[in-house]
Structure 1
Amino acid sequence: MHRKARSFIFSDLGTYKPNQWNIYSEIKRKLVEDHDIPAHEIRFIQEAKNDKQRKELIKGMNEGKIRVLFGSTSMLGTGVNAQKRAVAVHHLDTPWRPSDLAAKGR
């Protein structure tokens, strides 16, 4: 991955919980160990405990300080506006709601 390129990873199957196994932490582990991405450049939107911290994560993505940002659709979806350097958006699960599926074909 180009040093300035950034990716979003969406998953609604589970939630990030520090010091517990979850899909978010497992993917981060693989990115660090197998792809040499520094751990501090992989972040989780759930780390933000308030609006100020959330804005700092978004700013970090737009400035290129964060390479990968994980989150659920509801927490990282609408209104985040951190796509300035984004090159990829990865969705780890299929939409469950019929309304989500119907909008994809239009």
Structure 2
Amino acid sequence: MPPRTSLNRPVPYTAEYVELVIVQQEGVLKGRYRGRYYVPDRPISPEVAFYFEGAAGGQEAVLPWSGAGGAKGEVRLKLVSADRLQIDWFATELGSKLGLASGNSLLTRRRSD
């Protein structure tokens, strides 16, 4: 649930939902990010989805991403603790579909067996 203002409304541009799937194979991270953001004041899509891939590197990695409509950018993944990950992303090229140009989230890991 997104943070709320004093008027009990969601704070604009906060994530309502985020799903991040990451796989590491032979030193390469591959991932998929999907999110929905609260966008009350602009006629743009609240949906964000992109794929990223690049070299894994310790506690932090900055990787290129690509999304729908030709959008491209960078995503920064920082392991804050064993089960918490900070993700910051921004677009370097906007795609044909109007949407958010940047965002961030602090995520808690849920392992699948």
For this structure pair, what is the TM-score category when the shorter chain's length is used for normalisation?
under 0.3
Q: Which structure: greater strand fraction?
A: 2
Which structure would you say has the larger RCO, counting Cα contacts within 8 Å and 6 or more residues apart? 1
TM-score, normalised to structure 1, is 0.22
TM-score, normalised to structure 2, is 0.21
Q: Which of the two has higher C-alpha Rg?
A: 2
